Amino acid sequence: MKVILFFILSFISQSVHASTLDVCSTCTYMDIESAYSKCMVGDTMLIKHGEYKIENWIIDKAIIVKGESGAHLISASGDEIITVTSNDVTIEGLTFSGVTTNYLKENAAIRIRKSRRFLILDNKINDCFFAIYLEKAKQGSVINNLIDGDASSDAASGNGIHAWHCDKLKIINNEILHHRDGIYLEFVNNSDVDKNHSHLNNRYGLHYMFSNDDTYTENVIERNGVGVAVMFSRRITMKNNTFAYNWGHAAYGLLLKEIYDAEIIDNHFIENTVGIFVEGSNRINYLRNEFRRNGWAIKFSGGCDANVIKYNNFLYNSIDLVVSSKLSNNTFNDNYWSEYTGYDLDKDGVGDIPHYPVKLYSYIHQQVPESVVLMRSLFVDIINYAEKVSPVFTPKDVMDKTPKMKQL
C-alpha cells in the first residue's frame, strides 16, 4: 500500500512541476528533436502549426505530445514516425502522413511497443501504411482519431488500428476508412471497441483473431469487403452494432469462425449479401437482432451446436436461413419472420402454426449453386409454397414453434 501511495504521490509531484515546451519555426525549439531532448518526464510538448519532417522518433519518456491545429508530422523518407516505448504517453491532436508500404517492416504512423496506459487522442492519420500499431501494449486508449488510408490491394496495404498481444484496450469513437482491415485485433483480451465508424475498407471493417473476453458495441461497419470477422475467439460480446451495405461476391456482414460462448445482441444487419455467416461456432446467443433486406440473413455452415436464435426480426431478406448439415440442438424461438404466413386465432401475438425458415429453394441452391439463376421465377415460388405446406426436403427440426405475429 505504501509503495503504491509513494508512486501516486511522486506522479502527482511530477505533474505539478511539469512544464510545456513549444515547438514551431519562431519558438525556442525549432524542431521536434531538440525539444524532445530537453523534455523531462511529465512535460508537455506543444507542437504548433506547421509541417515537420520527422521519422523514427522514439518516445521513451512519459510525456504528453500535443498538436495545435495544423501541426502536421510527415515521415521524411516513408519510415515510421513515432515509436512509443514508455508508459503513460499521450499523443494528441496531430496530423500524420507519408508512411509508405514496406513489406519487411510493418511501418506505422504511431507504434506503441510494450507500454501501458497510453492515450492516442484526436489525431488525423492520412495515407499511411499502418496507422496505429499496438504491440504488446496494455490498458491504453485510442479515442477520436480519423484514419484515412489509401489501400489498393490486400497485399500492399496495412490496417488502420492494428493490435497484437494486447490487453485491456479501449478503442472508441474512431473513424477508419480505406485500409485493409479497419481495426485488427490479434491475441487481444479484455478490450472494448465502441462507437467506431469503419467503412470502405478493402477487407474487414473489424477483425478479431485469437482474442478472448472482448466487447464491441455501437460500431457502424459499412461498405467494407467483409463487415466484421470474428475468428478463433471466445466470449466475445457484440451489441448494438450496425452492419450495413457489405455487398459483393464474398461479402458478409458478420463472419463467425470457430467462436464459442458469444453474445450477439441488438445488432442491425442491413442489406449485406450475407448477414451472418457462421462456421463451427457453438453456444452463441443471437437475441433481438434485426436482419433487413439481406441476400441471406444467416448462413450456417457445418458444426454449429447449441445456438439460441430468439426475438430477432427477419425482414424481407431474399433467403432467411440456410443450414448445410443437420443442425442439432439449436433453438429458433419467438422470432418475427416477414415471410410467415400463418395465423393467430387466439390473438396472443404468437402464430398458431410453426414457421419453417428454410425454404426448399435455399435447400436446392445449397445443392446446386447454379440454380440461383432461377431466383424470383414463378416456378420457384410455386415449389416453395408447396414445400411450406408440407415439408419433405427441408429440415423439420429447424423451425420456429412460436413465431411472433408483429415485428419486435
CA-CA distance, 391 to 359, in Å (whole number)? 9
Q: In what order do the strands lie in the sheet with 183-189?
A: 57-59, 82-84, 108-113, 130-135, 161-167, 183-189, 204-209, 226-231, 252-257, 274-279, 296-300, 319-323
> Does residue 200 bind another protein (CB under 8 A)?
no
149 closest CA partner among 120, 119, 174, 169: 174
> Does residue 346 bind another protein (CB under 8 A)?
no
Q: Which of 187, 210, 247, 363 binds another protein (CB under 8 A)?
A: 247
Q: How far is the CB of 321 from another protein (least distance, A)?
A: 15
Give the range of 19-27, 148-156, 371-379, 391-399 binding another protein by CB under 8 A: 371-379
Contacts with another protein by CB under 8 A: the residue count is: 24
Give the range of 25-33, 85-93, 220-228, 246-254 binding another protein by CB under 8 A: 246-254
Which DSSP category does 304 fall into? -
> Does residue 14 bind another protein (CB under 8 A)?
no
Strands in 223-318 per DSSP E: 226-231, 237-239, 242-244, 252-257, 263-265, 268-270, 274-279, 285-287, 290-292, 296-300, 308-310, 313-315
Q: Which of 345, 346, 370, 389 binds another protein (CB under 8 A)?
A: 370
Nearer CB in complex with another protein: 119/374: 374
CA-CA distance, 206 to 219, in Å (whole number)? 10
Give the range of 105-113, 323-331, 375-383, 387-395 binding another protein by CB under 8 A: 375-383
> Does residue 325 bind another protein (CB under 8 A)?
no
> Does residue 408 bind another protein (CB under 8 A)?
no
As given in the structure block, the three cell numbers for residue 270 are: 442491413
> Does residue 369 bind another protein (CB under 8 A)?
yes
Q: Which of 382, 396, 397, 408 binds another protein (CB under 8 A)?
A: 382
Give the range of 185-193, 208-216, 329-337, 369-377 binding another protein by CB under 8 A: 369-377
> Does residue 375 bind another protein (CB under 8 A)?
yes
Residue 88: HSE in the Cβ half-sphere, 13 Å Cα cutoff: 11
Query: What phi and psi, each to the nearest 5 degrees, are found at residue 324?
Result: -90, -50
Contacts (Cβ under 8 Å, ≥6 apart) of 74: 51, 52, 53, 54, 96, 97, 98
Q: How far is the CB of 384 from another protein (least distance, A)?
A: 12
> Does residue 2 bind another protein (CB under 8 A)?
no
Which DSSP category does 334 fall into? S
CA-CA distance, 407 to 238, in Å (whole number)? 22
Q: How far is the CB of 183 from another protein (least distance, A)?
A: 24
Give the range of 190-198, 241-249, 253-261, 399-407 binding another protein by CB under 8 A: 241-249
CA-CA distance, 85 to 334, in Å (whole number)? 52
Its sign, for the CA torsion 313, 318, 324, 326, is positive
Contacts (Cβ under 8 Å, ≥6 apart) of 283: 260, 261, 262, 305, 306, 307
**Residue window 264-303: x/- pattern of binding to another protein, with contact defined by CB under 8 A:** ---------x---------------------xx-------
Nearer CB in complex with another protein: 69/367: 367
CA-CA distance, 172 to 154, in Å (whole number)? 25
Nearer CB in complex with another protein: 26/367: 367
> Does residue 318 bind another protein (CB under 8 A)?
yes
> Does residue 373 bind another protein (CB under 8 A)?
yes
As given in the structure block, the three cell numbers for residue 97 are: 502522413
> Does residue 56 bind another protein (CB under 8 A)?
no
Nearer CB in complex with another protein: 123/294: 294
Give the range of 99-107, 129-137, 205-213, 367-375 binding another protein by CB under 8 A: 367-375
> Does residue 376 bind another protein (CB under 8 A)?
yes
CA-CA distance, 298 to 336, in Å (whole number)? 14
Q: Which of 2, 249, 326, 406 binds another protein (CB under 8 A)?
A: 249
Q: Using DSSP, state whether 6 is helix, strand or coil.
A: helix
Give the range of 56-64, 108-116, 169-177, 372-380 binding another protein by CB under 8 A: 372-380
**C-alpha dihedral, 113 to 115 to 121 to 125, nearest 10°:** 0
Q: Which residues bind another protein (CB under 8 A)?
A: 247-249, 251, 273, 295-296, 318, 364, 367-380, 382
